[in-house]
Amino acid sequence: MNTLILRTVAPVITALMLLFSVFVLLRGHNEPGGGFIGGLIAASALAIFGIAHGPGAVQRAIRFHPMAIAGAGLALAAVSGLVSIAAGVPFMSGLWIYPDILGTEVPLSTVISFDIGVYLVVVGSVTAIALALETEPDGGAGEGEGGG
Amino acid sequence: MAAAAPAWTFIALFLPFLAAILAPFLVSRLGDKAAWIVALAPALSFLHFCGFLPEISAGEVATGGYAWVPSLNLSFSWFIDGLSLTFALLITGIGTLIVIYSGGYLKGHRHLGRFLSFILLFMGAMLGLVVSDSFLMLFVYWELTSIASFLLIGFDHEREAARRAALQALLVTGAGGLSLLAGLVFLWNVTGVTQLSLLVHLGDALRMSPFYLPALFLVLGGAFTKSAQFPFHFWLPNAMEAPTPVSAYLHSATMVKAGVYLLMRLNPVLGGTPAWEILLPFFGGVTLVAGALIGIRQTDLKLMLAYTTMASLGLLTMLTGFGSPHAIEAAVLYLVAHSLFKGALFMVAGAVDHGTGTRELPLLGGLRRAMPITFAAAFLAACSMGGLPLFAGFLAKEEIYAALATGNPRAVFFTAAALVGNALMFAVALAVGLKPFVGEGKQTPLTPHEAPAALWLGPVILAALGLVFGIFSPLLHAYLTSPMASAVIDEPTVITIGAMPHLGLPFGLSLLTVALGILVYLGFDRARALAAQMLEGLGPGPDRWFDYFISGLVRFSAGLVRIIQPGRLEIYITATFIAVAVTLLVPLFLFDELPGMPSWPAGALVQEIAFFVIAALGIVAVLRAADRLTAIVSLGIQGFAVAVIFLLFGAPDLSFTQFMVETLSVVILTLVMTRLRLSVSDHRPPGQILLDGTIAIACGLGFALMLLKAVGTPFDPFMTDFFNTYSKAIAHGANVVNVIIVDFRGTDTLGEIAVVMVTGLAVLALIKLRAGRGAS
């Protein structure tokens, strides 16, 4: 599978897919999409990159151990739920603010940060599995272990 | 009054736990002197509970507490009546002395701090147990005492005997705890209340209920294991592996009485029925006689005391279930007297061990000169245990005989049991409290010397109290025993028995007991041989059965695991899919719930039909594929076709997810296959193909039929309408699917992503594990 064509286009495809995954994540509240789908797209993107350039390259590109990314996502999701303590409403109540950024009203909420958490958990967990499988059992060269 | 303030009672209940946390730090700073400071905690609790005495003796009860989960009717609430208060005072009072004693007994031990911590943990648990009002609190504290007991018995964990005894005690009392839990659930379901204070008035409803007997058996399961009643008694003597302060405190004065406490507490609710009045006296009587006989047989001071404790617990159970107010009064008096003299005697045994280096009766003699203070305490306690006039034990024994000797045949039988048990216990009392101190001096491992103050303070106070309570019995009755008996009987009761002998049948029986006891004491060696002979005739005891049971259980589970977990993936997957097929198909056929044949959809578009055909072709390709890789990719064809169908029918989110899941499944399956290094193509014998094919078709058929059935039922649009109405209005999102995931059911999603992450970790661990094994 390690063909010249794949190796050449893989970075471009990966970059486009990652961008698309963020787009899908952010538009999810009103259009088809969301954290889960976005996370799967991003994981696929990293899998393609891994098939083309090896798991070591993926690991260097994402800097952190994928399981650490998943852990951060889970923590973010949990914290998004806990923010409601400060507002005195039940756990997981959605809280919204509408700051004015550069003349545009941007709706921000604990719901979107929760969805970002979902995204990170899915990316991290699936990528961790894929990277571990892509790594040759005997060699282990450049295996995604040191990060995090 | 100050004592009534709930906050102070709450603090008094938690003071032991607080001290348990602080004890190790204090010990590491101050050494064994820290015990005197730590003892302040139970002493303060004791004083606080003393403040309740006037109120309770006037016939009132003190309640208090805090709501915990009001919606589930759970509360942290206490209920203090005569029964609770007497127990609370015994626990904190004796506890104070035990803490001081421990400091002396384990002086210089490197884990003294840990030991004090465990003791105080137990104290807090036991205190909570006896004042608990809510069932839940009672159960939690009940289990906590078992755990504390486990830690204390296994304190000397480097010895195997201690570990075995600890585990045995935990298993027996823990199993009893579960039985109690089930019993409490029965009581709750029958009466609808979860508070002991309310339950007490619902006795009639409970006794009429068809669930009375199951509830009774389960509660007795808890009480009998905890209070070491035959045939669950065997853990108690083994528990003597614990350091002596533990034996004195947990396994004689307090914890083992938790079962008796429970029986007394539930006497107004469960008592008064034939079952109660047969089971309790019978098992109690057997325990009494067996304990006394085995006790005579021992030569170790602690073991002798342990078996007489078992006998005493039997006596208490027998009296509680005997079914007359007099018997309850006797039980109450005996319980108080026993806690005092048995606690003292255990501490004496520890002091003798400390002073001479041995606890073996035949090696001890003539210690009265070397250990005068210990001797005084031992002798006073032994007199109380033997029930000699002027002592608290005498009050109890008079009341016991007055209650039992009523003349009917049933009473004669139990009077005989009490007589034999008491006489043998008196002999043991003399053997422990008199024999080591009189006669010729003997060669002991250490030169006999008097114990330090920390070691004699406890026994002296407890033994002296036995005398004080006997002489000033009206005081004892007014403040402790009458309120306690009133609580157990659930009617105002006044105990009047005094310490001076008065002629009558009970006194005659008392004299007979004393005479018999002295006779046995004088011929102690002959009596021991006789008891040993009788017991050996009975074959192996329950202690041995326990070992057989445990090793049998281990072998059984090992065999079971070999059958259901052979370690071959094919077998697991085959079993899983057979279970799926059976679960889906059997109910459909069994209850005649098969769906009707679906009609051909009118107006199906060409592209819709086309994608159905592609999906079908994908499956054919999987089956026809020459090698595994092609088969996996072909599976992807079918998955993508289904994703397109979702899209065509208006579920973009679902379709989207399906695309990504299919892509990643193909990638990951391919990676797994290359890693497993299987042969390129899949060769199975025809029989295997037939079996696997049948299971696959059965699963597919099951899912298809169930889905057809599900979509065949009329659709309830309630949820759809709800989400369509409120998604935008209150959650600010137009994509209903996403709003459900992240907002309406966000907590579900949080759980799901946690599962995703744990799955990732588990897969990672499995891969690493295999890689490691491959490398080595």
Say if the Cβ atoms of A31 and B675 lie within 8 Å. Answer: no
Boundary-marking domain end, from B679, B714, B739? B679
What DSSP string runs through B152-184? Answer: HHTTSTTSHHHHHHHHHHHHHHHHHHHHHHHHH
* B513 and B619 assigned to the same domain: no
Interface of A with B in 74-133 (CB under 8 A): 74, 77-78, 81, 91-92, 94, 96, 107, 109, 111, 114-115, 117-118, 121-122, 124-126, 128-130, 132-133
Rounded to a whole number, what is the distance in Å from the CA of A116 to chain B's nearest CA?
10
| Residue B746 with chain A: CB contacts under 8 Å | 81, 92, 94, 111, 114
pLDDT at B771: 62
Distance of alpha carbon B129 from alpha carbon B7, whole angstroms:
18
Which residue, among B633, B742, B767, would best test binding to A if mutated, counting the most A CBs under 10 Å from its CB? B742
pLDDT at B358: 86
Tens-digit pLDDT profile for residues B214-264: 999 999 999 999 998 888 888 888 888 888 889 889 888 888 899 999 999
pLDDT at B511: 86
Q: Per-residue pLDDT averaged across A43-52, rounded?
A: 91
Q: Residue written as tokens 């491959």? A: B774
Q: Per-residue pLDDT averaged across A67-89, rounded?
A: 90
Domain-embedded: residue B9: no
- Residue B157 neighbours by CB under 8 Å, 6+ apart: B163, B166
Is the bond leading into B459 cis (omega within 30 degrees of zero)? no
Q: Per-residue pLDDT averaged across A119-143, rounded?
A: 78
Q: How many residues does chain A have?
A: 148
Among A64, A82, A74, A93, residue whose Cα is nearest residue A35: A74
Q: Which residue of A has its CA nearest to B664?
A: A44
When mean pLDDT is compared across B191-205, B575-589, B608-622, the lowest value belongs to: B191-205
Q: Per-residue pLDDT averaged across B463-489, rounded?
A: 88
* B448 and B314 assigned to the same domain: yes
Domain-embedded: residue B268: no
Q: Would you say residue A143 has pLDDT above 50? A: no
Rounded to a whole number, what is the distance in Å from the CA of B186 to chain A's nearest CA?
34
Boundary-marking domain end, from B679, B699, B721? B679
Say if the Cβ atoms of B767 and A132 lie within 8 Å. Answer: yes
Which residue, among A109, A118, A138, would best test binding to B if mutated, counting the most B CBs under 10 Å from its CB? A118
Q: Per-residue pLDDT averaged across A60-85, rounded?
A: 92
Domain that holds residue B393: 280-522
Distance of alpha carbon A130 from alpha carbon A55, whole angstroms:
9
State in Å, rounded, how far the first CA of chain B is from the last one.
74
* B621 and B505 assigned to the same domain: no
Residue type, B61: V
Domain-embedded: residue B132: no
CA B511 to chain centre: 41
Q: Would you say residue A147 has pLDDT above 50? A: no
Rounded to a whole number, what is the distance in Å from the CA of B142 to chain A's nearest CA?
33
pTM of the model: 0.73
Q: From its phi and psi, is residue B188 left (phi > 0), alpha (psi between -120 and 50) or beta?
A: alpha
Confidence of residue B651 (pLDDT cuts 50, 70, 90): confident
Rounded to a whole number, what is the distance in Å from the CA of B743 to chain A's nearest CA?
6
Mean per-residue pLDDT of chain B = 87
Which of B664, B757, B771 is closest, CB to CB, to A137?
B771
Confidence of residue B176 (pLDDT cuts 50, 70, 90): very high
User: With contact defined as beta carbons under 8 Å apart, do B59 and B493 qualify?
Assistant: no
Rounded to a whole number, what is the distance in Å from the CA of B642 to chain A's nearest CA?
17
Distance of alpha carbon B221 from alpha carbon A31, whole angstroms:
61
Say if the Cβ atoms of B738 and A140 lie within 8 Å. Answer: no
Tokens linked to B78: 């206490």
pLDDT at B115: 92
When mean pLDDT is compared across B274-283, B533-542, B642-651, B751-760, the lowest value belongs to: B533-542
Say if the Cβ atoms of A36 and B741 lie within 8 Å. Answer: yes
Domain-embedded: residue B200: no
The fraction of chain B above a pLDDT of 90, given in percent, is 34
* B343 and B483 assigned to the same domain: yes
User: With contact defined as beta carbons under 8 Å apart, do B629 and B669 qualify?
Assistant: no
Quote the strand ranges of chain A, DSSP E.
Answer: 96-97, 100-101, 104-105, 108-109
Domain-embedded: residue B314: yes
Domain-embedded: residue B624: yes
| Residue B750 with chain A: CB contacts under 8 Å | 77-78, 81, 92, 114
pLDDT at B678: 76
Tokens linked to B33: 């002197």
The fraction of chain B above a pLDDT of 70, given in percent, is 98
* B514 and B611 assigned to the same domain: no
* B455 and B337 assigned to the same domain: yes
pLDDT at A140: 44
Say if the Cβ atoms of A31 and B735 lie within 8 Å. Answer: yes
Among B219, B199, B35, B25, residue whose Cα is nearest residue B116: B35
User: With contact defined as beta carbons under 8 Å apart, do B267 and B488 qualify?
Assistant: yes
User: With contact defined as beta carbons under 8 Å apart, do A35 and A62 qualify?
Assistant: no
* B508 and B618 assigned to the same domain: no
Distance of alpha carbon B528 from alpha carbon B298, whole angstroms:
8
Q: Would you say residue B90 has pLDDT above 90? A: yes
pLDDT at A145: 39
Q: Is A43 on the interface with B (CB under 8 A)?
A: yes
What DSSP string runs through B714-754? Answer: PP--HHHHHHHHHHHHHH--S-HHHHIIIIITHHHHHHHHH
Winning range, highest mean pLDDT, from A7-16, A129-138, B720-729: A7-16
Q: Would you say residue B88 has pLDDT above 90? A: yes
| Residue A118 with chain B: CB contacts under 8 Å | 741-742, 749, 753
Residue type, B715: F
Q: Measured at the alpha carbon of residue B187, what is the angle toward residues B181 and B192, in degrees to the nearest 5?
A: 120
Distance of alpha carbon B199 from alpha carbon B207, whole angstroms:
12
Q: Would you say residue B477 has pLDDT above 90? A: no
Domain count across chain B:
2
Domain-embedded: residue B595: no
Q: Give the three-state DSSP class for B400.
A: helix
Q: Would you say residue B422 has pLDDT above 60? A: yes
Domain-embedded: residue B544: no
Say if the Cβ atoms of A43 and B735 lie within 8 Å. Answer: no
* B408 and B513 assigned to the same domain: yes
Confidence of residue B744 (pLDDT cuts 50, 70, 90): confident
Distance of alpha carbon B94 from alpha carbon B100, whole angstroms:
10
Q: Residue written as tokens 């405190």? A: B249
How is residue B363 annotated by DSSP?
G
Boundary-marking domain end, from B522, B541, B566? B522
Q: Which residue of A has its CA nearest to B651?
A: A32
Say if the Cβ atoms of A126 and B760 lie within 8 Å. Answer: yes
Q: Would you say residue B84 has pLDDT above 50? A: yes
Q: Would you say residue B773 has pLDDT above 80? A: no
Q: Per-residue pLDDT averaged across B742-757, rounded?
A: 91
- Residue B605 neighbours by CB under 8 Å, 6+ apart: B648
Q: Would you say residue B523 has pLDDT above 90? A: no
Q: Residue written as tokens 């406890």? A: B458
Q: Would you say residue B538 has pLDDT above 50? A: yes
Tens-digit pLDDT profile for residues B429-460: 888 888 888 877 777 788 888 888 888 999 99
* B516 and B623 assigned to the same domain: no
| Residue A44 with chain B: CB contacts under 8 Å | 660, 663-664, 667
Side-chain-facing half-sphere of A104: CA atoms under 13 Å: 4
Rounded to a whole number, what is the distance in Å from the CA of A102 to chain B's nearest CA?
22
